[in-house]
Amino acid sequence: MEFGPYLMLASLEGAVTAAVLALTAVGLSLVFGVMRVVNVAHGEFFMLGAVLAWWIAGLVGGNPAIGFALAIVFVPLLVGAVAVLVDVTILKRIDYDPERTIVATIGILYIIQQVTLMTYGPEARPVEAPFNTRLALPWFEFSDGRPQMYWPWGLSTTSYKLGVIGAAVAVLIGVWVLMARTKIGLVMRATQLDREMALAFGIPVEKVYALVFGLGAGLAALAAVLIVPIQQAHYLMGHDPLLLSFIVVIIGGLGSLPGTVLAAVLIGLSDGVISVFFSPTLAKILATLLVALVLVFRPQGLFGARRA
């Protein structure tokens, strides 16, 4: 394949990565923004989403679309419920102390991961996509001084991948509407701005925290349900999304949702494109170093404004 079509293919793959990453990272960012805690177990909620999607799809059988539809509705709710349980039994009891929360969520990471290993097992298992038509894509070439369209071999995507991108965009718009236009969003933003003041105004801060923690985990699970027909479910699959979400949230500015989405698109796209030129390991090294240096020298993120 020539360079142009190759780059387009990489960008398309990158867009799928970006879409899923944006959902996962927005979940992490929401939790950090409102609750001021870092959830190290976020990647495990993602993994749990993928594994539960496989489980539900297997329970239903028949047309893959039915199982998938059930999974996309129920898996985020189930995972959200697990997260709410974690919040009220553990995080609430250590009073959301930032450092102790990190230690506790490291523990939760291992608990979820290892319980999955004991029940679901070490195998990687696929979930069938509800629809999956191969779509060939055209490319343009100048010959005889005018553009000509042709269909390079291998330049294609699937209807499902485009569906993932569309679904992610829809959900992100939904999150934005929830935060900016609804009463519950207002309550969340009030809690984020000033916890004490919110308490004084009678906002049930503990319930808001539980809800936000559940919502954050639910978004990660949803992202996993979307990706699992493309990438199989495995008990160790939470590691990369966690790392990438960290990168995205930090570069986008801790707790800033628009910054997070922008950074997700940037990282997702460049991940696809950079790995065309560099080895993926080198790309990851550079990305982690970038994150560390951003935190050291520009803690408000690359896109955030410095706070007073």
Partner 1 sequence: MSISTKSLGLHLGLLAVLFVLQFVLPAYHHGNIARIMVLASYAIGFNILFGYTGLLSLGHALFFAAGMYGMGLVVNQFGLPPFSALLVGLLVGGLVALALGLLALRTEGVAFMIVTLMFAQAGYLTVLYFGEYTRGDEGFVIQQAERVMWGIDLSDPTNRYFAALVIFGVSLLVTLKLVQTPFGKVLIAIRENEERARMLGYDVFLHKLAAVVLSGVISAFAGASYGLLFGYVGASFASVQYSIFPLLWVLLGGAGTVLGPFVGTLFMFYLIDLSSGITSAYMLIAGVTLVALTLFAPQGFVGELRKRVWRWLP
Nearer to partner 1, 142 or 297 (CB): 297
Min dist. Cβ of residue 113 to partner 1 (A):
7
Nearer to partner 1, 174 or 299 (CB): 299
In whole angstroms, what is the distance from residue 41 CA to residue 106 CA? 6
Min dist. Cβ of residue 250 to partner 1 (A):
7
Min dist. Cβ of residue 81 to partner 1 (A):
18
Structure tokens at 170: 């829809």
Give the type of residue at 99. E
Min dist. Cβ of residue 231 to partner 1 (A):
20
Nearer to partner 1, 135 or 285 (CB): 285
**Residues in the site for partner 1, rule: CB under 8 A?**
38, 90, 93-94, 98-100, 102-104, 106-111, 113-115, 117-118, 122, 243, 246, 250, 279, 281-282, 284-285, 288-289, 291-293, 295-297, 299
Nearer to partner 1, 110 or 140 (CB): 110
Nearer to partner 1, 110 or 201 (CB): 110
Min dist. Cβ of residue 94 to partner 1 (A):
6
Give the type of residue at 88. V
In whole angstroms, what is the distance from residue 31 CA to residue 111 CA? 20
**Neighbour tally for 189: CB within 10 Å:** 14
Structure tokens at 146: 């005018």
**Neighbour tally for 143: CB within 10 Å:** 8
How does DSSP classify residue 94?
Answer: G
Nearer to partner 1, 69 or 90 (CB): 90
Give the type of residue at 209. Y
Four-residue CA torsion sign, 71, 180, 261, 6: positive
**What is the CB-side half-sphere exposure of residue 225 using CA atoms within 13 A?**
29
Pairing of strands 134-136, 156-158: antiparallel
Min dist. Cβ of residue 301 to partner 1 (A):
12
Nearer to partner 1, 128 or 240 (CB): 240
| C-alpha of 163 from chain center | 16
Min dist. Cβ of residue 66 to partner 1 (A):
32
235 three-class SS: coil
